Structure 1
């Protein structure tokens, strides 16, 4: 029991005392007050409380005491913040999807023109410039596709996924967005097996782990992403509950950051557990990662030493043998040369429509172009033979 100390020094956050004093002054003036205040527990844990102040009067009608009833709403505020953030993310997703679509329409005519010029140009130096343009367009297209994927949400059907392709796309995003003082290293086994997964969820897992790694290296460092095949026998899986012996793909995300203290490492996958400030994290990132991996019948574990860095390892079962062949990347096919065939093209973006028409006619096709589906039906009925 603390005797002789003021309540402001006992239970109220010292950085939030101004709000408390304003509430007290309002209560003395109006007789009552209700609102949110910041408090701290005996062990220093910060709380958000809903406070109700009321003035008590003596028999002469003079105020002699303020009574306060407080309700702990810390967890409710966390959930409220999460819901607000989710709504903002949905809005951002819709906005990003629209922007990505517009950017795609701008890039398509450029991409088509480069293919046309590549066929026409013979000079090697000119072709070199075209290849640079094509490379830049491909980088931009990869980023746009990622934006579109995430704006559609993470739910989707599972299918054969080549992890090496996800890591390749991830590498582009990281090198475009992470600070330059963080070195990105990628090590992927050449004949990496495919897995059965929902690709957007897998990308979300990898991005989440990489963002955590970035935050753990405020002064820079090395982020290494590795993927390899492994046959886990019955002795090995005794260390990995819920797995059965067989072929697995192991994905590692390693950083050289601050590390995780041993006293909290067992809590990092718990919902709402975070060491970040409230504005910088909800404590749901790793919980969601763990949930996604479990949904895919996999396991994620962590090894960390304070000051030396952290390693997350994900164990996912390789696809069955009959699916592996389907997961092999298909070779890109060249656009075939036409023989005067007539093609109807419907496209609402004028520049894209013009470039498609140009590309087709350059490859010995004839075209009829329209701006929408209704015009397309009319033109088809006029030229269906």
Structure 2
């Protein structure tokens, strides 16, 4: 019985199905791997015309540094006509084409999916490192509170001519340097207490311009390209200054032989496509500040590790590797994102995007520095670290306060119940076993309505902050602190017009 040949009409329909299919498809010669035909979706994905595809072999599409793999369901990386790299998952089926055996290869473009998966893996890794960094910083801040605190108490009791004065001063300076490092760790782990306000980044850059010029040196030309109608952002001014300084220092170090450093601001609109590629960035209006240089640039491997803590491309002794990781932490905690564009031997541009707000910038009023930090009020101190508790008690006693101290919430409640006089201020650590400082404050202020509250901690958590941003009227002092700064904060809280509320209220 003769074989029934497909009709021309059927062949036409099959070809239309191939060419109009939404998935990219290639017909490949199984003997030499040459591409025989490509459908419209493949043309759109790769950028080659159907005629150009017929002169290309399947293997020549593969990125050269990719692992050699055959036509399997595993993903492969291909280079497009324009030089871009895409990742596809090919699946094949044996067919007959023009009367000869062939392979129909259906391609699934997984480029965006792989990019998002890599972002997720990187975010999970950074989150794990951040939790470790935050925990280490918390423990170190307790120790540094003791070191810097007692150093200042010793300094205050010594005359400047005393031979021990210089030694105590060096201990104090070393403690301050260590505190700066732990501050960077906290910034990276996003466990800092931010105090945001509506901010004009143009004014911030202009105010810092003189200091930045001194910072980069005379062999580097600094240029400012500031958009006049720049949108406002909600950010912590001190932290944004730290971000700008870190980016400028990195740009400076990338130009050892001099060059041009550019600081630019602009209004940008992030669209849905960008937000999908850079989760969890939301689409909408943003304000951008960019720091660019024409220095050494970075390869792809360095860019992938750029924000890892302790990673640095600088030589030994020329950086801690915490600058950019702290920048990332601050930007993420502020609700923004940062992108890096770099080409080896050409330069780098780091662009920070912060959500735009529709409110006028806050005008700073000059507040005279308080010099009086003594008092006679009764203060209840709750701190589970004995050495920190002893330092706080001694500091307050020397400043004239009556101090009641407890090593935890249970003892604090017992003291508060037994004490018949007025307790003017509760000073409590945030993180304690079983009962947090927030919960303790809520319990005690329920019975003592006129008692004010001051929280202290080596890092912040949701008990005191909403995603790291201090709630209004919650008094907080960050460890490590000096006795002078601590007593001044105590005085500020006690003299505030209304009762400083607990975080639970």
Contact map agreement 2:292 2:350 (CA 8 A) in 1: yes
- Which range moves more in the overlay, 112-121 or 357-366? 357-366
Paired with 2:367 and 2:262, the residues of 1 have a C-alpha distance of: 21
Whole-Å Cα distance in 1 between the matches of residues 401 and 192 of structure 2? 40
Please state if 1:15 is matched with 2:52.
no
Structure 1 residues 47 and 104 mapped into 2: Cα distance closer, same or farther (>3 Å)?
Answer: same
The structure in which a higher percent of residues are helix is 1
Counterpart in 2 of 1:377? Answer: 413
What secondary structure does 1:348 align onto?
coil
The structure with the larger Rg is: 2
Shift of 1:54: 4.5
Unpaired segments ≥5 residues, structure 2: 1-51, 224-231, 269-288, 307-323, 336-344, 422-505
Give how far 1:50 is off: 1.2
Deviation (angstroms), 1:108: 0.7
How many angstroms does 1:379 deviate by?
Answer: 0.9
Tell me the alpha carbon deviations over residues 76-112 of structure 1, each in whole angstroms, 9 at most, x when there is no partner: 2222222322233333333322222111111111122
Task: Say if 2:197 and 2:362, in contact at 8 Å, map to a contact too.
Answer: no
Give the Cα separation in 1 of the matches to 2:258 and 2:76: 40
TM-score (norm 1): 0.57
Q: Spell out the pairing of 1:130-169 with structure 2 (5 A cutoff).
A: 130-152=168-190, 158-159=196-197, 163=204
Q: How many pairs are equivalent?
A: 297
Q: Residue 303 of structure 2 aligns with which residue?
A: 280
Give me the whole-angstrom Cα distance separating, in 2, the residues matched to 1:369 and 1:154: 26
**Secondary structure at 1:331 match in 2:** coil
Please report how far the alpha carbon of residue 353 of structure 1 lies from its aligned counterpart in structure 2 after TM superposition.
1.0
Structure 1 pair 349–109 and aligned structure 2 pair: CA distance change class (3 A) = same
TM-score, reference length from structure 2: 0.45
Are 1:102 and 2:139 an aligned pair? yes
CA distance in 2, matches of 1:12, 1:111: 59
- TM superposition shift of 1:68: 2.7
The alpha-carbon distance between structure 1 residues 209 and 117, as it changes in their structure 2 partners (threshold 3 A), is closer
Q: Look up the match of 2:395.
A: 359
How far 1:49 moved relative to its partner? 0.9
Which of 206, 209, 213 is the equivalent residue of 2:244? 206
RMSD: 5.5
2:381, 2:222 → 1: CA distance? Answer: 42
Structure 1 counterpart SS, 2:62: coil
Gaps of 5+ in 1: 25-32, 58-63, 188-194, 228-238, 243-250, 260-274, 297-305
For residue 295 of structure 2, give the secondary structure of its aligned residue in structure 1: coil
Using a 3 Å threshold, how does the CA distance of structure 1 residues 6 and 253 change in structure 2: closer, same or farther?
A: closer
1:147 to 1:382, Cα distance in 2 relative to 1, 3 A: same
Partners in 2 of 1:140 and 1:54 — Cα distance?
Answer: 63
Q: Give the CA deviation at 1:381.
A: 1.6
